């Protein structure tokens, strides 16, 4: 199929960006979206133009590196996938596809479609861990039984790949689904209880400091999340913070 | 605790708490108003009680005003903060793909309701205040009217079809606002979304029935005066 | 230089304990004055950085992604082995050790493998304490599953995302140290050279991938944890950015490269769909427990399938060739990865491939669905259940076991694997070879360490499933933090390493010169053009099945391609900006050298062992006719290559492998 791409081009973080139109031809429906971008870039390199910079790495939907806001949705129109797992069969011959970087004040653009998500790093550094020494002199792994239900629920929260689609999709650029998932994983496990109050307070404080917006419960994040992280995690974080504050 | 209300989540909880209060008030307001459809006398009596009772007038009323003001001021504060969280807008954004129109436009439905509140105050509240606090007339009576004046005043207001239309439109916005706000408030205070389905059904019922009831009252009095 | 593996004396089960008891330690006050650079933040690098920081060293960690959590360890699906014997099925340190050595086809170092098995149990304790949500049973205890090639259940898992969860565990430990200021994290940085001062590794040259700035970083020791080099094949299950650059740079500075030809080709990957393919996706090996692998018996049917004139379900049972079951009746579809991969390639090379590219075989669940369906019908006491009922019951069981994998397949291929058989084909997955290290995990350069997949390590010629995660974490959490102290104990009086020395100048200039060359060379072809060509040579001639002729050709072709690359490569953009093409150019340049050494190593090793199959070394008769034949008399050694200018000029050093605790046996799956 032949497509028109409208892509955000921005030289660096300080430059003013703009949308630029490109044409790609003979795109196979079996290609992934990023393979389509590879075709475009190969074309640009051969013409001596600057290829479009975009983040990507594992290309199997787990590293969370790829981003892109495609036709008005984070990771494009398919559900439960990252951009690298999005296939061109979701589009039709002759389509015009708009491709923008994830937008948020806390995610400044580095170049073209690449954004800086280090705000997520700082939130996790503020408390996204259990303070256990890595010496291996911990107690036996089976000494604290954890109910299957709690373990499974913690796992569901822990599946978050930190891609930032929640922030990008939220009309308020809120990071609460991400932070909620991180807080929840530990809140659900007995190992996480000792530091629970400090953890949620510090992580939320850092989240606010980074300039993310507030949650208005639109639920867009949950729908666009490639890993199906549930809104319940936000509710749990709210409860945890209330518990920590009284 | 003061730190809590400075945090994003704290503000969201505060927003939800004021919303709960307002939703409860709305229910109460509706319960009294619907009486006007069934019995003029009961309506008048209850209205007089509400209008003259010390507790209602000097405790609940200020709390209510505070609640309303807080809810909309906080709404604006959050809206500005949220707008700042994305300074460059998307060229193409398909919000409908992942969220309802109501959830994305609370600020607009809220503004419509705020405009309505102004109108509503001009219609009822300011005259009340004038009568009671400036004129000092606490009798609930009015020259040329038999019994209490409340029902009569109500009827009079709904004669003008333009006002009725304005009220009806405002109630539609109220419905839209509640459509998202009801369940959202529960979620903000940490309500489990696992029971979301049931909560949403209750929310839907509330956000349709209450405004619809108000619309009915307005139309009823317009056509029955 | 003669290789000294520094394996401690004594009985194998006491070696590590005794060694730890006598090793030099650095006192806590002195650790504050010692800097360590860790390059790579996957399971090995992440866990090492966190632990070293916790011990009190000052750590500088480098990752080319925007976060340590994105390293490709995150993509490991299946699980992590540990000799916990929670299942009470007779597992022990010795058994895990034995399975690993045997699985590696006797080309690994006994003492290292034993140590790995020994610390494996600790890893699980550690990870649980960190909050890794491993799967649990209804009693709240940890669950185990079994994995290919072993007789016990010792694999711990977290859904199909074990690698992700373990990496997040190590990452959280890093975050704690970053918050404490003990780790300085350099995201979006790529190491481009190591700096040696007086023969010791003293720092690195790194490029800031956002600004393009070239930076100098010094330390008392440098740890390389940059993963494997499977991307030398262009297509592999590795991440797009996975590369050999750090390992290759240290090789050029004196670290020997061991067994580069030992590569694992995984049999169950989703096949290539066209020339634009950028990477391959792995489907968990567990699928082979229930799927039956086949191609058509008749070449006409295969042709029809390739042209999409026929559907697999149109081919009757008697016209199907279940080639693994036919060739290996004892193990059938569960033969080890290398055997399954070669058998699939053999059929496809003979023209029986089933997709448009002719490079795919079927993995069919119809029989499993029927079998499970019938069992379920019995369980539910259904009399004379209809075919549909049996299918539905069976499908539910298969869905429960493999639902997420089937879904992933459907997303990529757009076919429903419950209705039509899956298509699979082998793909490069893991490289057992890597930088040679001694028992301390130190390379042949003083103060330069190499851990995780980047070293040649414990897996010999073939890695067992669920052992990569175990090795990465063992190296990072429990081995390196001890052994590095032995070296650093002599560095407490060294003081801060200055970066304004001639050695740093020289290394930085070299790096800059090379980058400048790329930008200024107005060639004709993109970097990917060369990478794809290299990949094709590697896959065709240094792939699953290798012979002398092909390997000799490959060496010449790679050399030729490399020379062309240095003349005609085209890299757009500038130096001082984010420039992904420039990053790729440097990585492909190194692959173009490694590829040749890879082929050279494969040529030298005229035996078939593990993932390395030489057509010249097969059983000539008997039941095993045509199967791989190992040659212990001549090749029971680690091939460590010393860099001498050109890859073809590399000098071979042999580390003889002695097996005192395990008897060498020829593998048989017939």
CB A158 within 8 Å of CB C162: no
Do C325 and C201 share a structural domain? no
**Least confidently predicted of A143-157, B96-110, C146-160, C496-510:** C146-160
Spell out the residues 6+ positions from residue C425 whose beta carbon is closer than 8 angstroms to its own: C269, C270, C271, C272, C344, C348, C359, C360, C361
Q: Does domain A117-245 have CATH number 1.10.1060.10?
A: yes
Domain boundaries, given as residue ranges, for chain A = 3-111, 117-245
Do C480 and C519 share a structural domain? no
Do C252 and C202 share a structural domain? yes
List, for residues C13-23, the tens digit of each pLDDT value: 999 999 999 99
From A194's Cα to the closest Cα of chain C, the distance in A is 12
Do C327 and C202 share a structural domain? no
Contact assignment for B10 to A232 by CB distance below 8 Å = no
Q: What is the CATH number of domain A3-111?
A: 3.10.20.30
User: Per the structure, how many domains does chain C have?
Assistant: 3
The beta-carbon neighbor of A105 closest among B10, B85, B194 is B85
Do C448 and C398 share a structural domain? no
From A43's Cα to the closest Cα of chain B, the distance in A is 25
Q: Of C408, C431, C165, which Cα lies nearest the Cα of A60?
A: C408
Main-chain dihedrals φ then ψ at residue C263, nearest 5 degrees:
-125, 145
Contact assignment for A171 to B104 by CB distance below 8 Å = yes
**Looking at the predicted structure, is the pLDDT value of residue C219 above 80?**
yes
Q: Chain B within 8 Å of A13 (Cβ-Cβ)?
A: no
In angstroms, the Cα distances linking A155 to A186, C47, C168, C285 are 10, 21, 12, 22
**Looking at the predicted structure, is the pLDDT value of residue C74 above 70?**
yes
State the Cα–Cα distance between residues A19 and A22, nearest whole angstrom.
10
Domains in chain B, CATH or no CATH each: 2-223 (1.20.1300)
Tell me which chain B residues have a C-beta less than 8 angstroms from the C-beta of A217: 103, 180, 183-184, 187-188
Main-chain dihedrals φ then ψ at residue C533, nearest 5 degrees:
-65, -45
Do C189 and C62 share a structural domain? yes
Residue C500 lies inside a defined structural domain of this protein: no
- The residue out of C427, C458, C483 marking a domain boundary is C427
**Looking at the predicted structure, is the pLDDT value of residue A49 above 80?**
yes
Q: Chain B within 8 Å of A106 (Cβ-Cβ)?
A: yes
List, for residues A126-145, the tens digit of each pLDDT value: 999 999 988 777 889 999 99
Residue C465 lies inside a defined structural domain of this protein: yes
Tell me which chain A residues have a C-beta less than 8 angstroms from the C-beta of B192: 232, 235
Provide the CATH number for the domain around residue C138: 3.50.50.60
Q: What is the 3-state secondary structure (H, E, C) of C147-179?
A: CCCCCCEEEECCCCCHHHHHHHHHHHHHHHHHH
Range of C569's domain? 505-629
Do C252 and C178 share a structural domain? yes
End-to-end CA distance of chain C: 43
Do A and C touch, 3+ Cβ pairs within 8 Å? The answer is yes
Helical H segments across chain A, by residue range: 33-46, 118-125, 148-158, 165-169, 176-187, 196-209, 220-224, 232-245
List, for residues C254-299, the tens digit of each pLDDT value: 999 999 999 999 999 999 988 899 999 998 888 888 899 999 999 9
- The residue out of C396, C411, C427 marking a domain boundary is C427
State the Cα–Cα distance between residues C237 and C279, nearest whole angstrom.
6
List, for residues B33-85, the tens digit of each pLDDT value: 999 999 999 999 999 999 999 999 999 999 999 999 999 999 999 999 999 99
Q: Of C320, C286, C68, which Cα lies nearest the Cα of C176?
A: C68
State the Cα–Cα distance between residues C447 and C222, nearest whole angstrom.
6
DSSP assignment of C290-304:
T-EEEEESSHHHHHH
Touching partners of C (3+ C-beta pairs < 8 Å)? A
Q: Of C663, C629, C479, which Cα lies nearest the Cα of C110?
A: C663
Do C457 and C339 share a structural domain? no
Contact assignment for B90 to A69 by CB distance below 8 Å = yes
Q: How confident is the model at residue B144 (pLDDT cuts 50, 70, 90)?
A: confident
**Least confidently predicted of B175-179, C151-155, C362-366, C605-609:** C151-155
Q: Chain A within 8 Å of B147 (Cβ-Cβ)?
A: no
Written as six digits, the tokens of C239 are 């991440």
State the Cα–Cα distance between residues B206 and B19, nearest whole angstrom.
14
Report the pLDDT value the prediction gives residue C498, as an integer from 0 to 100: 97
A&B contacts, CB < 8 Å: 143
Rg of the Cα atoms in chain C: 25
Do C446 and C411 share a structural domain? no
Q: Which of residues 572-591 of C touch A (CB under 8 A)?
A: 572-573, 577-578, 580-581
**Looking at the predicted structure, is the pLDDT value of residue B194 above 70?**
no
Span C541-564, average pLDDT: 97
Helical H segments across chain B, by residue range: 2-6, 8-38, 40-52, 54-55, 61-84, 101-104, 106-120, 126-129, 150-157, 161-188, 196-223
Residue C90 lies inside a defined structural domain of this protein: yes
Residue C128 lies inside a defined structural domain of this protein: yes
Do C180 and C96 share a structural domain? yes
**Looking at the predicted structure, is the pLDDT value of residue B1 above 90?**
no
CA atoms within 13 A on the CB side of C32: 2
Contact assignment for A130 to C172 by CB distance below 8 Å = yes
Angle at the Cα of C445 (from C440 to C447), degrees rounded to 5? 60
Do C227 and C120 share a structural domain? yes
Q: Compare all CA atoms of chain A with the CA of C210 and give the residue at the minimum distance.
A: A110
**Looking at the predicted structure, is the pLDDT value of residue C626 above 90?**
no
Q: Chain B within 8 Å of A7 (Cβ-Cβ)?
A: no
Q: Compare all CA atoms of chain A with the CA of B74 and give the residue at the minimum distance.
A: A214
Full strand arrangement of the beta sheet holding C263-269: C263-269, C422-431, C361-364, C292-296, C320-321
pTM here is 0.95
State the Cα–Cα distance between residues C101 and C396, nearest whole angstrom.
38
Q: What percent of chain B has pLDDT over 70?
A: 97
Q: Of C456, C453, C450, which Cα lies nearest the Cα of C471?
A: C453
**Looking at the predicted structure, is the pLDDT value of residue C528 above 80?**
yes
Asked if this assembly's ipTM is beyond 0.95, the reply is: yes
Provide the CATH number for the domain around residue C298: 3.90.700.10
**Looking at the predicted structure, is the pLDDT value of residue C403 above 90?**
no
**Looking at the predicted structure, is the pLDDT value of residue C166 above 70?**
yes
Touching partners of B (3+ C-beta pairs < 8 Å)? A
User: In a 3-state reduction of DSSP, which class is residue C62?
Assistant: strand
Report the pLDDT value the prediction gives residue B195, as an integer from 0 to 100: 63
Mean pLDDT in chain A?
96
State the Cα–Cα distance between residues B139 and C461, nearest whole angstrom.
99
Span B102-126, average pLDDT: 95
Residue C645 lies inside a defined structural domain of this protein: no
Residue C601 lies inside a defined structural domain of this protein: yes
**Looking at the predicted structure, is the pLDDT value of residue B172 above 60?**
yes
Report the pLDDT value the prediction gives residue B141, as an integer from 0 to 100: 87
Quickly count: other Cβ atoms within 10 Å of residue C107's Cβ. 28
List, for residues C41-61, the tens digit of each pLDDT value: 999 999 999 999 999 999 999
Do C335 and C239 share a structural domain? no
Q: Which of residues 189-208 of B touch A (CB under 8 A)?
A: 189-194, 196
Catalytic positions of C, written as ranges = 337
Residue C187 lies inside a defined structural domain of this protein: yes
Written as six digits, the tokens of A187 are 């809140």
Contact assignment for C578 to A12 by CB distance below 8 Å = yes
Written as six digits, the tokens of A117 are 């998500």
């Amino acid at each position: 199929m032949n497509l028109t791409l409208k892509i955000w081009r921005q030289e660096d973080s300080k430059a003013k960006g703009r949308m630029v139109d490109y044409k790609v031809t003979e795109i196979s429906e079996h290609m992934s979206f990023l393979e389509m971008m590879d075709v475009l870039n190969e074309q640009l390199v051969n013409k001596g133009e600057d290829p479009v910079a975009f983040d990507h790495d594992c290309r199997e939907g787990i590293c969370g590196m790829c981003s892109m806001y495609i036709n008005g949705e984070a990771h494009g129109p398919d559900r439960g996938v990252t951009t690298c797992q999005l296939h061109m069969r979701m589009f039709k011959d002759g389509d015009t596809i708009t491709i923008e970087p994830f937008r948020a004040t806390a995610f400044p653009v580095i170049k073209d479609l690449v954004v800086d998500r280090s705000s997520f790093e700082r939130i996790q550094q503020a408390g996204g861990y259990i303070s256990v020494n890595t010496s291996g002199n911990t107690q036996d792994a089976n000494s604290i039984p954890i109910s299957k239900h709690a373990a499974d629920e913690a796992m569901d929260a822990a599946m978050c790949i930190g891609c930032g689609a929640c922030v990008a999709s939220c009309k308020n650029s809120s990071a609460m689904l991400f932070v909620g998932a991180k807080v929840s994983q530990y809140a659900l496990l007995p190992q996480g209880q000792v530091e629970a109050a400090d953890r949620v307070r510090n992580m939320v404080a850092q989240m606010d400091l980074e300039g993310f917006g507030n949650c208005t419960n639109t639920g867009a994040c949950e729908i666009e999340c490639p890993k199906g992280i549930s809104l319940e995690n936000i509710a749990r974080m709210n409860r945890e913070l209330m518990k920590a504050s009284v | 605790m003061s730190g809590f209300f400075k945090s994003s989540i704290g503000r969201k909880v505060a927003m939800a708490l004021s919303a709960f209060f307002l939703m409860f008030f709305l229910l109460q307001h509706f319960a009294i108003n619907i009486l006007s459809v069934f019995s003029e006398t009961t309506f008048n009596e209850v209205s007089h009680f509400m209008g003259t009772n010390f507790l209602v007038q000097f405790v609940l009323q200020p709390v209510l005003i505070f609640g309303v003001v807080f809810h909309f001021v906080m709404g604006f504060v959050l809206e500005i903060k949220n707008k700042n969280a994305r300074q460059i807008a998307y060229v193409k954004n398909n919000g409908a793909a992942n969220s309802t129109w109501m959830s994305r436009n609370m600020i607009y439905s809220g503004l419509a309701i705020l405009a309505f509140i102004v109108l509503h105050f001009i219609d009822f509240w300011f005259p009340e205040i004038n009568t009671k606090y400036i004129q000092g007339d606490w009798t609930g009576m009015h020259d040329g009217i038999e019994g209490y004046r409340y029902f009569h005043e109500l009827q009079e207001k709904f004669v003008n079809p333009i006002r009725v239309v304005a009220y009806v439109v405002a109630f539609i916005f109220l419905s839209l606002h509640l459509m998202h706000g009801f369940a959202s408030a529960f979620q903000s205070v940490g309500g489990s979304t696992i029971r979301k389905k049931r909560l949403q059904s209750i929310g839907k019922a509330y956000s349709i029935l209450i405004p619809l009831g108000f619309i009915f009252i307005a139309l009823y009095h317009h056509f029955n005066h | 230089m003669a290789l000294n593996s520094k394996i401690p004396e004594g009985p194998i089960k006491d070696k590590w304990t005794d060694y730890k008891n006598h090793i030099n330690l650095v006192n806590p006050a002195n650790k504050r004055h010692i800097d360590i650079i860790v390059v790579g933040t996957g399971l090995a690098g992440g866990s090492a950085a966190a632990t070293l920081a916790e011990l009190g060293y000052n750590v500088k960690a480098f990752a080319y992604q925007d976060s340590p959590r994105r390293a490709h360890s995150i993509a490991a699906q299946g699980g992590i082995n540990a000799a916990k014997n929670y299942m009470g099925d007779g597992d022990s340190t010795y058994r895990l050790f034995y399975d690993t050595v045997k699985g590696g086809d006797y080309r690994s170092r006994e003492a290292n493998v034993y140590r790995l098995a020994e610390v494996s149990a600790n890893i699980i304790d550690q990870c649980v304490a960190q909050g890794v949500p491993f799967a649990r049973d209804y009693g709240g205890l940890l669950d185990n599953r079994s994995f290919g090639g072993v007789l016990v259940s010792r694999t711990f898992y977290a859904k199909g995302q074990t690698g992700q969860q373990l990496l997040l565990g190590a990452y959280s430990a890093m975050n704690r140290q970053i918050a404490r200021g003990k780790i300085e994290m350099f995201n979006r940085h790529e190491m481009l050279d190591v700096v040696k001062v007086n023969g010791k590794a003293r720092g690195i040259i790194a490029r800031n991938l956002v600004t393009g700035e070239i930076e100098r970083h010094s330390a008392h020791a440098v740890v390389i944890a940059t993963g494997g080099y499977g991307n030398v094949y262009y297509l592999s299950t590795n991440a797009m950015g996975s590369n050999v650059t750090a390992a290759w740079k240290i090789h050029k500075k004196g670290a020997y490269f061991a067994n580069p030809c030992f590569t694992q080709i995984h049999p169950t990957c989703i096949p290539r769909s066209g020339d634009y393919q950028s990477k391959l996706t792995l489907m968990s090996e567990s699928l082979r427990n229930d799927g039956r692998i086949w191609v058509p018996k008749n070449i006409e049917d295969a042709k029809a399938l390739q042209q999409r004139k026929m559907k697999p379900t149109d081919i009757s049972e008697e016209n199907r060739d279940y080639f693994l079951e036919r060739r290996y009746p004892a193990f059938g579809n569960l033969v080890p990865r290398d055997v399954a991969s070669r058998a699939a390639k053999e059929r496809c090379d003979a023209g029986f491939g089933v997709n448009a590219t002719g490079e795919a075989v079927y993995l069919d669940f119809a029989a499993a669905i029927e079998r499970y369906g019938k069992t379920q019908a019995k369980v539910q006491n259904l009399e004379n259940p209809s075919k549909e009922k049996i299918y539905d019951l069976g499908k539910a069981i298969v869905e429960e076991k493999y639902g997420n994998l089937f879904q992933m397949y459907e997303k990529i291929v757009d076919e429903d694997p419950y209705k039509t058989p899956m298509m699979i084909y082998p793909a490069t997955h893991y490289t057992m070879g890597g930088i040679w290290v001694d028992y301390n995990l130190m390379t042949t350069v003083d103060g330069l360490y190499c851990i995780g997949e980047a070293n040649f390590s414990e897996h010999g010629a073939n890695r067992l499933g669920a052992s990569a995660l175990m090795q990465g974490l063992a190296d990072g959490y429990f081995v390196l933090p001890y052994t590095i102290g032995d070296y650093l104990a002599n560095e407490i009086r060294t003081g801060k390493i200055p970066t304004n020395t001639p050695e740093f100048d020289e290394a930085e200039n070299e790096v800059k010169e090379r980058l400048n060359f790329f930008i200024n060379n107005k060639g004709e072809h993109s970097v990917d053009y060369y990478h794809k060509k290299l990949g094709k040579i590697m896959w065709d001639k240094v792939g699953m099945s290798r012979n002398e002729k092909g390997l000799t050709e490959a060496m010449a072709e790679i050399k030729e391609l490399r020379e062309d690359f240095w003349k005609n490569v085209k890299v757009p953009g500038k130096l001082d900006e984010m420039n992904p093409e420039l990053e790729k150019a440097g990585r492909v340049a190194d692959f173009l050298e490694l590829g040749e050494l890879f082929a050279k190593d494969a040529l030298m090793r005229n035996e078939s062992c593990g993932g390395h199959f030489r057509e010249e070394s097969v059983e000539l008769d008997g039941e095993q006719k045509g199967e791989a034949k190992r040659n212990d008399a001549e090749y029971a050694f680690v091939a460590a290559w010393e860099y001498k200018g050109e890859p073809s000029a590399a000098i071979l050093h042999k580390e003889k492998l002695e097996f005192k605790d395990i008897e060498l046996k020829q593998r048989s799956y017939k």
